[in-house]
Structure 1
Amino acid sequence: MNLELSYAQSLDAADSLAGFREQFIIPEEHGQQQVYFLGNSLGLQPKNTGPYIQKVLDQWAKYGVESFFMGEDPWLNYHDHLVGPLAKIVGAHSAEVVVMNQLTVNLHLLMVSFYRPADKRVKIICEAKAFPSDQYMFETHIKALGYDPEDVLIEVSPRAGEVTIHQEDILAAIQQTGEELALVLWGGVNYYTGQLFDMEAITRAGHAVGAKVGFDLAHAAGNIELHLHVWNVDFACWCNYKYLNGGPGAIGAAFIHERYHQDKSLHRFAGWWGYEKNTRFKMEKGFVAMESAEGWQLSTPSPILYASLRASLEIFETAGFDSCLQKAKQMAAYLRFLLEQISEANPGKFHILTPAAATARGCQVSLLVKQGGKELFDELTRKGFFVDWREPDVIRLAPVPLYNRYEEIWRFAQVLGG
């Protein structure tokens, strides 16, 4: 690697995924394309999103409610377009993935099934200062069961003077809680620092003491390599509007390991869309769940939201998720190289919060800017860079493989180091 513009341009010229940028709508200002580094917050709109939604609207106009059964793409089977591509992205079998609701709703639903406090086994281990999707869900769900969150939650924090969490501290907390531990529910990637956690090791440790283990993959799905089935994870939830470009408020998704699909002793909240598909419309008394992750569905889903997500997933299918991961790693390595050069030349200007091991595998990088951070963020915005400001002193960015260029990373570094 080197610091020259020509090097970044050579990387773009050799990029096998470069053409996929043309399948997205890039924000413009005064006719100039902006640099969008916010795939970790809301992914860009694929150009096919509008046409796919329009097809659903046209079907609705022509067939009305019979669109569930009629037309070239009946809505009753639309879910099938989504689970295959998503399963590849999260490392699961198709039957283990369901597209439904949004992230926090799904967390609550799966807590019903996988958090069953009894006797002394009531504790939950989670990361301190988790995103509010988790924090508020924990607080209210635990209270609804008649427990005090202060008595139930064990929050693992960074060590004094540090901002990231040591993996060994997580494993130690699991082992020490032992027979009192009912559930480990952890984030795959920390939203603030970009820290990536060893989910396989966390799962193994939780199971070793008899606990269930689940993950919030909001900042992981579509960003890093996942093997949920092989890792033996019990459940996971994620949103599809960040790295997966499903649109603002996109329909969410969940993973439930196949070993639970036929477990009739498992508690769950049920709804008619989770009922056995072949007999669903008989509407008979007594819930009979589909023997897949789809058995956790509640209400009739929106084909419009399905269509929005489908437009993006088809791009991933064509590009190949393995190729996306490879480019993401290369882009992250290039970005980190440039940041380290700037940091060496300007000591104290910023500190890279995201551990090197995480930037070697994921897109997000978080920069701690102690002096003039908001002014720097505003300057980046004026220069056409979409990045993220997190109070009190962090700038987050995430170049993603499907629509970002290496030259954009180089240009960002020029402004940052200027």
Structure 2
Amino acid sequence: MNYQNSLDFAKQLDERDPLKEVRNKFYIPKDTNGKDWLYFTGNSLGLQPKVTADYIQQELKDWANLGVEGHFEAKNPWLHYHEYLTDNMAKIVGAKPKEVVVMNTLTTNLHLLMVSFYRPTKAKYKIVIESDAFPSDRYAVQSQLKFHGFSENDLIEWRPRRGEELLNIEDLETIIDEQGDEIAMLLVGGVNYYTGQFLDIKRIAKIGHSKNCIVGIDLAHGAGNIQPNLHDSGVDFAAWCTYKYLNSGPGSLAGLFVHEKHAKNKDLPRFAGWWNHNKETRFNMRMPFDVMEGAEGWQLSNPPILSMAAIKASLDLFEEVGMDALREKSEKLTGFFEFLINQIETDRIRIITPKNPKERGCQLSIQVKNADKSLHQKLMDHHIITDWREPDVIRCAPVPMYNSFQDVYQMVSILKELV
């Protein structure tokens, strides 16, 4: 698209946007004068859909009126509530329904998955992550190494080349070629939290599997943002949170994927609980443990319905809008955003996110020269909500669900004044 640097052009883009009315389905934070803030932090916490309160209120009403019988008699019976989320969540991440379940929180799910899939031997025990992985992922794999009697030195980092910020997949091929016989597992962020780089998940899986390494993906910054096509990618497992692009509320439940090639392998070691026992005999109470097939076989506990109600509200909205339409708008939004930033005549800032729209989601990471966080604070003072990541990056995510082209234009106009 041939973008133009003007408010009128931004208004034209909004007018032609087939998703322009979706913004009205969300609560936008406002200043004391009732004016909308410019919210660019859906990569940390998505905004609240206006229907969320109704979905939660329905479960509160059924709890009040039915008590424990709500498990069977509620409008959405609680006993099967997690199943109401499965189909829509599977579409978002490109999986078969049997490969997906909503449960627990992200790092908890990663640990439960590693119980099954990180099975080190004396010869094959190392783990690969990206060098700038999200801290929680690093802590998780370091603790897994220690738990199994290995050292943090057995963690291999896939690093950008000297003087670069982005990862080169050829370097991962080199790591696997040279050390693959000692590597048990790769755990990689599908979209890097810092740079916003969307990695080639399918190619990563192929590279890892070439040396019989298990491949896992953290989609915390990918689910609801990009289309990872998890089933076709061939990765062994994945996990993601739902409170960022999936708009389910702070600290809400997470999602989990296990490829169907593992669905019937009941010999995989795993932790057990009531909710991953065969649902047909679960209430017989004294039956020996019989693990369920598919992703449901990693559940442990009776799920929290109020959190799931918020997730259901958001997933129903995703089903209405569709990921194809969201990705199309996302590429236009970031394209316009990138164009406008590049029009600013300064050497103080630059974008480190990939230029190719297919290699990024809706986040652009702005690196600030000689950073001291002051620019980020000045944006906040102007009611522009971005987030800061040490040492020198302002992360901005124009989310296609609720951000407009005018949001982008206004934000960059203020940014230009500040730099």
Superposed pair shares fold, TM > 0.5: yes
- 1:402 corresponds in structure 2 to 401
Cα separation, 2, equivalents of 1:311 and 1:35: 24
| Contact 2:275/2:301 (<8 A) preserved | yes
- What does the per-residue CA deviation read over 1:33-85, in whole Å, with 9 as the maximum and x for residues that have no partner? 11111010000011111111111111111121221111221011211221111
Query: Partner of 2:26 in structure 1?
Result: 24
State the identity as a percent.
48
CA distances 1:4-32 after superposition (whole Å, capped 9, x unpaired): 11111000001111111111110011211
CA contact 1:275–1:290 (8 Å) conserved in 2: yes
Residue correspondence of structure 1 range 4-403 to structure 2 within 5 A = 4-30=6-32, 31-150=34-153, 152-342=154-344, 345-346=345-346, 348-357=347-356, 361-371=360-370, 374-403=373-402
Give SS of 1:52's match: helix
CA contact (8 A) 1:53 1:307 kept: yes
Residues in 2 aligned to 1:372 and 1:87: alpha-carbon distance in whole angstroms? 40
TM-score (norm 2): 0.96
Question: Contact 2:59/2:74 (CA < 8 Å) preserved in 1?
Answer: no
43 and 107 in structure 1: CA distance in 2 versus 1, 3 angstrom threshold = same
Q: Matched residue of 2:280: which SS?
A: helix
Q: In the TM superposition, what is the alpha-carbon distance from 1:376 to its structure 2 partner?
A: 1.7
Distance 2:166 2:324 in 1: 28
Q: Distance in 2 between matches of 1:170 and 1:178?
A: 10
Letter in 2 for 1:296: W
Q: Match for residue 411 of structure 1? A: 410
Conservation of the 8 A alpha-carbon contact between 2:127 and 2:141: no
1:288-327 per-position Cα deviation (integer Å, ceiling 9, x unaligned):
1111211100111100010011111111111111101110
Amino acid at match of 1:262: K
Q: Tell me the CA shift for residue 273 of structure 1.
A: 0.6
CA distance in 2, matches of 1:149, 1:108: 17
- Taking the aligned partners of 1:382 and 1:178, their CA distance within structure 2 comes to 50
Please state how far the C-alpha of 1:178 moved relative to its aligned partner: 2.1
Contact 2:205–2:235 (CA<8 Å) still a contact in 1? yes
Between the aligned partners of 2:201 and 2:358, the Cα distance in structure 1 is 16
User: What TM-score do the two structures reach when normalised by structure 1?
Assistant: 0.97
The root-mean-square deviation of aligned C-alpha atoms, in Å, is 1.3
Query: Which piece of structure 1 moves more, 397-406 or 123-132?
Result: 123-132
Q: Displacement of 1:336 after TM fit?
A: 0.8
User: Cα 1:155–1:372, aligned 2, differ >3 Å: closer, same or farther?
Assistant: closer
Unaligned runs of 5+ in 2: none
CA contact (8 A) 1:86 1:313 kept: yes
Deviates more, 1:38-47 or 1:128-137: 128-137
Cα contact 2:82–2:303 (8 A) shared by 1: no
Per-residue CA deviation, residues 359-399 of structure 1 (Å, 9 max, x unaligned), is 76410111111146522212211212110112232111000
> Once the two structures are superposed, what CA deviation does each residue of 1:122-143 show, in whole Å capped at 9, x if it has no partner?
1111111311210111121221
CA distance in 2, matches of 1:397, 1:262: 42
Alpha-carbon separation, structure 1, partners of 2:84 and 2:283: 22
Equivalenced residues, count: 414
The runs of at least 4 aligned residues of structure 1 exceeding 6 Å deviation read none
Contact 1:195/1:358 (<8 A) preserved: no
- Code of the residue aligned with 2:61 in structure 1: it is D
**Are the equivalent residues in 2 in contact too, given 1:329–1:360 (CA < 8 A)?**
no
CA distance in 1 between partners of 2:254 and 2:4 (Å): 40
Residue 105 of structure 1, CA deviation:
0.2
